[in-house]
Amino acid sequence: MRYRPILPAAAGALAVVHVAGILTAVSLLRQAELAALLLLSVYALTARPPARPWAVPVALTALVADAWATMPAESADRGWQVLRPGAADPTLGFVTGLRLSWAALVFVLVLLLTVRWREARPSRPALAGTVLAAVLVTGYAAVRLVEIQRAVRDAQPDLAVTAAVLAPLTLALGALVLAALLTGRRQRLAAGGATLLALVALTYLDAALALTQLPSYLERGTVFTAAFQGTERLPALGPAVVAAVELSAYLLLVVGVSARQAVPAGPGRRSYR
């Protein structure tokens, strides 16, 4: 297909429109994120890899469904909503973490379960880096849990706080494993996207913990969420940065996994798989 190389560029342009809409709080194109993911799906469908050509498109289905469900409402549909204080919901943190992470988690799990990994042989430095990153991610979650449980020991059950990090932490660790396997297949572009997705998962972790009735000094997170706090001029800087990193991760993953790799086929010849 002659137009196939244009699809990732068009998806990237739509992603920029989506991020700009979040940053300015003006819906420039409501369907921008959905259209970007659909273009990536078409790109993956036309890649035609020899083994399981449906794997990446099926993985993208969850992202497309989530983009459809979270599409900004039209201006005519917007209105005021009155919220009244009530009893704290101990499941709110878990539900928020799951709502933020489920599509990306399905995407990562489908790739892990369907892509053929027999030829994936990560080098020792790559394995060491993955183990170190997993330890740092788990340590970050553990530090946040200990800090929060000490502060809200009487206000929030320990189980509710722990449950809030389950989905984002699973996403982060799964993305790191995916990055290691992709590195072993020499798909470094896709491995970089998986690494970015692990960073996005940590912002989801902080967002889920922020809804477990935390004291004000703990709501901003310790590293990731606090780094992207908005300003008076750009109140939605944090969500815009997270959306930009997340869409960049999907773009790198789809393009990197769908690219045809050249492999030796004999003296003076190359074949592609």
Average pLDDT of span 211-239: 56
Comparing 81-85, 97-101, 137-141, 234-238, which segment has the lowest mean pLDDT?
81-85
Angle at 15 between CA 178 and CA 96, to 5 degrees: 60
Helix (H, G, I), strand (E, B) or coil at 34: helix
- Is residue 264 predicted with pLDDT exceeding 50? no
Residue 64 pLDDT? 94
Share of the chain above pLDDT 70, in %: 73
The mean pLDDT of 164-179, rounded to a whole number, is 93
Q: What confidence tier does 76 reach under pLDDT thresholds 50, 70, 90?
A: very low
The residue-averaged pLDDT of 230-243 equals: 71
**pLDDT above 60 (res 250):** yes
Checking if the pLDDT of 117 tops 60, the result is: yes
d(CA 60, CA 37): 7
Which residue would you say has higher pLDDT here, 77 or 185? 185
What pLDDT sits at residue 60? Answer: 93
Highest mean pLDDT among 176-190, 232-246, 250-264: 176-190
Mean of pLDDT values over 62-78: 78
pLDDT over 80 (residue 65): yes
- Residue holding tokens 């750009």? 234
Least confidently predicted of 72-76, 121-125, 178-182? 72-76
Confidence tier at 266 by pLDDT (50, 70, 90): very low
In which band, very low, low, confident or very high, does the pLDDT at 36 lie, cut at 50, 70 and 90?
very high
Query: And the tokens for 260?
Result: 């045809």
Q: Does residue 1 have a pLDDT over 80?
A: no
Q: pLDDT band for position 152 (50/70/90)?
A: low
With a CB cutoff of 8 Å and minimum separation 6, the contacts of 164 are 93, 94, 96, 97, 205, 208, 209, 211, 212
Q: What is the model's pLDDT at position 85?
A: 46
**How far is Cα 108 from Cα 177, in angstroms, rounded to an integer?**
10
The average pLDDT across 214-239 equals: 55
